[in-house]
Structure 1
């Protein structure tokens, strides 16, 4: 049996008399309002979040949470988790574009030396469980590393 969940976001944009501003807000009930703009390369406000940053952030965050879940299911104690993720966006001469790949570089620190190989391999399972990764139509590559303390 599948469970369905509904997520809502309210976008608010107001026109400027001089030009169409790309800055807007997104409100999600019970959370701080996000100030959003286009990416700097698309003449947006570089100080604000942009949809491209938010998509990459969703993928990297979801992967980490899925990974921590599968590690807990397999008795692996994760001490720390870091990632320096990258995303490739291609834009055609017509102005349309799409993400073509995301690369995750998770650096995990665990406590058990005998679980190191399993900890590395669990990134595959985490990707299979990740809601956001399952919703993307481009490849997500993983280049994990693992240390033991």
Structure 2
């Protein structure tokens, strides 16, 4: 049996033409906008290491955020199904990307570090297994070829 498919459409618009287009590596900004109908626009750029604007989100940060969000949403849903009341959830994820000799690169890992608070201390023991299940189900973690690790803590 096959599952449902979902499609995600959005717009990426480069806004960094300073008047001469890409006439030289330093002649243009990496500024762009990520948008979709009915949603706020996200101001994007390259990582500052690649001449990007540090005040804007870069693709690498958004990838790390996507992995963290997906894990969190699965975890919260699974807790709700199990009757475990989560009262607080924060994460401080970190991703590592390695550049390659040809100028490209790839992520080598992302580490999720969720901190969870529940209303009943008796439920704390069940949280590790729920994190493991959330990781197994996460759409985004299942779509990348690098390690996504989870080191949960309980607040």
3-state DSSP class of the match of 1:131? coil
Map 1:42-81 → 2, pairs under 5 A: 42-81=50-89
Do structure 1's residue 146 and structure 2's residue 147 form an aligned pair?
A: no
- The TM-score, its normalising length taken from structure 2, stands at 0.90
Map 1:33-112 → 2, pairs under 5 A: 33-112=41-120
Name the Cα RMSD after superposition.
1.3
- The TM-score, its normalising length taken from structure 1, stands at 0.93
Q: State how far apart, in whole Å, the 1-side matches of 2:85 and 2:127 are.
A: 9
What is residue 32 of structure 2 aligned with on the other side?
A: 24
Do structure 1's residue 7 and structure 2's residue 15 form an aligned pair?
A: no
- Structure 1 runs of 4+ aligned residues shifted over 3 Å read none
State the number of aligned residues.
147
Structure 2: runs of 5+ lacking an equivalent? none
What is residue 138 of structure 2 aligned with on the other side?
A: 130
